[in-house]
Amino acid sequence: MPNFVMSYLGSTVTPGQAGNQFWALMYVLIIFAGVSVAVMAMNWLERKALAHFQIRLGPMRVGPHGLLQPFADALKLMLKEDIIPTEADQFVFWVAPLIGLLASFTVYTVIPFGPSQAVSDMNIGILFMLGVSSLAVLGIVVAGWASNSHYPLIGALRSSAQMVSYEVAMGLAVVSAVLMTSMNASGTGTLSMIGIVQAQQQQGIWFIFKFFPLGFIAFAIFAIAMVAETNRAPFDMAEAESELTAGYHTEYSGLRWSLFMLAEYAAMIAVSSIAVTLWLGGWMRPFPNLLQAPAWEFIFSLFPGLTFAGLAAIAFIGTARMPAQSFFRVQRIGLAVFAALLGFIALLLLVIAVAGRTADTSVAARFREGIDYVYWFVLKVAVFMYLFIWYRATWPRYRFDQLMRIGWKVMLPIALGVLMLTAIVGVIVS
């Protein structure tokens, strides 16, 4: 067992490349579990954040501050009757949520949480990601068709037209970022997700700031297209609840419905990961090239621990602020335990940061680096997740024709223009 563990810790490449089957499998499991937990956390966060946007409290009953609400929801959804309409196409109805879910989760095989913190580094990483995430639409289309009902069908049609349209602008924006990876001495770019981040590292600039404002425009187009791609507000035509009741998943209930939700949130995290990787420096901490001194390295490595310490502090304050009635005793204890857990994690992270502050190949240093990478990556993705919630709280929904007009008549030409300008500027600069 220690051999298995150690076999990876010394490696600087992903387990997939090293042919390390044990760790590749471990990564798959870790990512599967991690994404599921992230979706649950996102579910709770969305409800709480949205509630606070809307001057309400959100879930408060199940666990302290509704912390256990996602678990209760998951349990409820699993126990619910799985209804398949008699007129539905049984097999397709059954398989549709799985298609979306599989597509959303397969994407994670190439997402680099760090230079070696990924299942595998594919040569065609970004191409693979775009391709597989475009398969997710199949689940939606097929679900809408199989329900044999009008609202789902319209939802499915909207969704497929929307996703196909926005993939074009999205792809062009991605290409302009990929083009930037080739602005190096050898003139060869890369499609590899890890390679793209490393290119940003080598060029010493996040691609969002490269050739300002070209990089930024490409990023903005991607950021808009990814909202449309994941069917989120204000582009949530496919499930517009005020128009199509629930769109493509109107006829779904229970576990199958929750699989759709799981796929949707997983897809949101996935596309955010692409944006982070392509434009925001992936796993890199801020200013890796400017602030290179070991002291800076140490200071930045304290961030994960400090973040958890902050969360623990918030949880402790929440415990203290709870009403003193006996009714709340269980919740108080629960929140205190949760805070203590967070504090313990914070302590552990700080200890690792201190122990691994020397940049050698010791186990502690490897651990510390891995934690840093994952921390910064997740932090950047979390910002996008917050944006998703923010959009939803702020904006009305676009109409379908307006959505298509923006996709084809605004975003596509701009993306094309940015791509050409990037190429021209790249040629001139090099």
**Residue 320 Cβ, how far from another protein at the closest point, in Å?**
28
Query: For another protein, which is the closer residue by CB, 36 or 182?
Result: 182
> Which one among 43, 69, 109, 120 touches another protein, defined by CB under 8 A?
120
Shorter beta-carbon distance to another protein: residue 36 or 202:
202
CA 43 to chain centre: 13
CA 90 to chain centre: 32
- Residue 60 near another protein by CB under 8 A: no
Q: Which residues contact 237 (CB under 8 A, 6 or more apart)?
A: 155, 158, 159, 162, 231, 247, 397, 398, 400, 403
Q: Does 49 bind another protein (CB under 8 A)?
A: no
Assess 48 for contact with another protein (CB under 8 A): no
Provide the minimum distance between the beta carbon of 128 and another protein in the complex, in angstroms, as a whole number.
5
List the interface residues with another protein, window 312-371 (CB under 8 A).
Answer: 359, 369
CA distance 112 to 197: 9
Name the burial class of residue 278, with classes exposed (0-12), middle (13-18) and buried (19+) by CB atoms within 10 angstroms of its CB: buried
Q: Is 26 in the site for another protein (CB under 8 A)?
A: no
Shorter beta-carbon distance to another protein: residue 65 or 158: 158
Residue 50 or 302: the one with the smaller Cβ distance to another protein is 50
Please select the residue that binds another protein; options are 6, 21, 362, 424, rule is CB under 8 A.
Answer: 21
244 binds another protein (CB under 8 A): yes
Site string for another protein, 275-314 (x = CB under 8 A): -------------x---x----x-----------------
Question: Does the protein bind another protein through residue 50 (CB under 8 A)?
Answer: yes
Residues in 122-151 at the binding interface with another protein, rule: CB under 8 A = 122-124, 127-128, 130-132, 134-135, 137-138, 141-142, 144-146, 150-151
Could you tell me if 21 and 43 are in contact, meaning their C-beta atoms sit under 8 angstroms apart?
A: no
Per the structure block, which two tokens stand in for 305?
């621990």
Q: Which is nearest to 300 in space by CA: 219, 386, 359, 239?
A: 359
Question: What secondary structure letter does DSSP report for 239?
Answer: G
The whole-angstrom separation of Cα 177 and Cα 127 is 12
Residues 37, 83, 98, 164: which binds another protein (CB under 8 A)?
A: 164
CA–CA dist 112, 195 (Å, integer): 10
Nearest to 205 by CA among 226, 177, 170: 177
Separation between Cα atoms, residue 84 and residue 127, nearest integer Å: 36
Indicate the Cα dihedral angle 31, 374, 283, 19, nearest 10°.
-50
CA separation for the pair 51, 146 (Å, rounded): 34
- DSSP 8-state assignment for residue 362: S
Tell me how far, at minimum, the Cβ of 385 lies from another protein, in Å: 18
Binding to another protein by CB under 8 A, coded x per residue (else -) over 222-241, reads -----------xx-xx--xx
Instruction: Rule CB under 8 A: say whether 157 interacts with another protein.
Output: yes
| Site stretch for another protein (CB under 8 A), options 60-68, 223-231, 323-331, 391-399 | 391-399
Q: Which is nearer to another protein, 13 or 354 (CB)?
A: 13
The rounded distance, in Å, linking the Cα atoms of 106 and 188 is 28
Candidate segments 59-67, 161-169, 313-321, 325-333, binder of another protein by CB under 8 A: 161-169
